[in-house]
């Protein structure tokens, strides 16, 4: 079951906090996935990221570093170093309510309280969170416990470099738009989403899958990434279906649209989005191929 793990790798907004770690350029292995997309004499490079990170993710390999340095535009899902007020407004609108979480049985509440204590999260600090947001926070906390931190996210690393160089950054989505997808779940569905997150953490499923996805990204293992995409497609839990239908299949067409528009006005730009948007039958590269663009997988 891929559930909350994929949520974290595909939803950037929760990782807009904290500094990104940077390193001096040096020889490094391939990471993630890199595609070259061409149409009408224009080229776009499409790089698959992870929305958490660890120090050994860096530096990125020299070829990609060179492409990023020369790119007129860096396109991201959202800019993690962008306007923090936009993020705050999106959280307020879609992630909080005065009632907080209702409907949990005493047994589920006990399990939740154990995890909050495990991650040193004060219950008062999350009292107004909707279930989907709390589920995401728990998953982020589990990632951190496994050594994968929000502040070291690949997207944040790229954004920091682009801002330092005065490079133009294009947001393909918005924090409000991303959070609105979660907020469309009914209260009952959000409770299920939270309960499945708790189950995944307690049975160690999330820690194992975090390592699996991170290792596949760290080594640019195309077969392993495709296998993860197949697992996601076959996950029949509520969270699994939500991730596949809404967070992946539902977002990929608009992401592809944004890249086509970017290619039409700028050459040799780089688009960096969650790596799981780049694998599988309904991936962004497959959508671009169906539109007649030439797509080459570099690694």
**Whether the Cβ atoms of residue 16 and residue 84 lie closer than 8 Å to each other:** yes
Could you give the CA distance from residue 10 to residue 4 in angstroms, rounded to a whole number? Answer: 10
- For 94-105, give one letter per residue: b (16+ CB within 10 A) or e: bbeeeeebeebe
Tokens found for residue 27: 């020889």
Give residues with Cβ within 8 angstroms of 101, minimum separation 6. Answer: 129, 130, 131, 134, 191, 194
Could you give the CA distance from residue 219 to residue 209 in angstroms, rounded to a whole number? Answer: 15
- What are φ and ψ of residue 174, in 5° steps? -140, 155
pLDDT value at position 4? 53
Question: Which tens digit of pLDDT belongs to each residue from 218-258?
Answer: 999 999 999 999 988 899 999 999 999 999 999 999 999 99
Question: Which tens digit of pLDDT belongs to each residue from 166-183?
Answer: 999 999 999 999 999 999
pLDDT value at position 16? 45
For the entire predicted model, the pTM comes to 0.90
% helix, strand, coil for the chain, step of 5: 55, 10, 30
pLDDT bucket at 211, cuts 50 / 70 / 90: confident
């Amino acid at each position: 079951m891929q559930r909350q793990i994929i949520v974290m790798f595909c939803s950037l907004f929760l990782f807009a906090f904290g500094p990104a770690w940077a390193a001096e350029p040096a020889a490094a292995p391939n990471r993630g996935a890199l595609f070259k997309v061409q149409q009408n004499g224009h080229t776009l490079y499409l790089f698959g990221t992870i929305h958490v990170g660890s120090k050994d993710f860096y530096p990125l390999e020299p070829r990609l570093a060179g492409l990023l340095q020369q790119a007129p535009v860096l396109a991201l899902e959202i800019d993690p170093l962008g306007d923090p007020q936009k993020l705050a407004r999106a959280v307020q609108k879609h992630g909080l309510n005065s009632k907080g979480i209702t409907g949990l049985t005493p047994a589920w509440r006990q399990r939740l309280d154990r995890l909050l204590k495990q991650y040193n999260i004060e219950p008062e600090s999350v009292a107004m969170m909707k279930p989907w947001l709390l589920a995401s926070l728990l998953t982020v906390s589990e990632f951190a416990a496994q050594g994968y931190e929000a502040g070291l996210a690949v997207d944040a690393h790229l954004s920091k470099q682009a801002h330092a160089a005065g490079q133009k950054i294009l947001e393909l989505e918005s924090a409000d738009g991303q959070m609105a997808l979660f907020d469309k779940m009914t209260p009952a569905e959000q409770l299920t989403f939270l309960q499945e997150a708790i189950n995944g953490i307690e049975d160690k499923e999330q820690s194992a899958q975090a390592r699996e996805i991170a290792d596949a990204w760290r080594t640019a293992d195309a077969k392993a990434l495709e296998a993860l995409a197949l697992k996601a497609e076959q996950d029949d839990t509520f969270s699994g279906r939500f991730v596949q239908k809404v967070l992946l299949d539902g977002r990929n067409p608009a992401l592809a649209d944004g890249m086509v528009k970017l290619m039409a006005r700028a050459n040799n730009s780089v688009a960096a989005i969650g790596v799981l948007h780049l694998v599988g039958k309904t991936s962004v590269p497959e959508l671009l191929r169906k539109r007649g663009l030439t797509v080459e997988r570099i690694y």
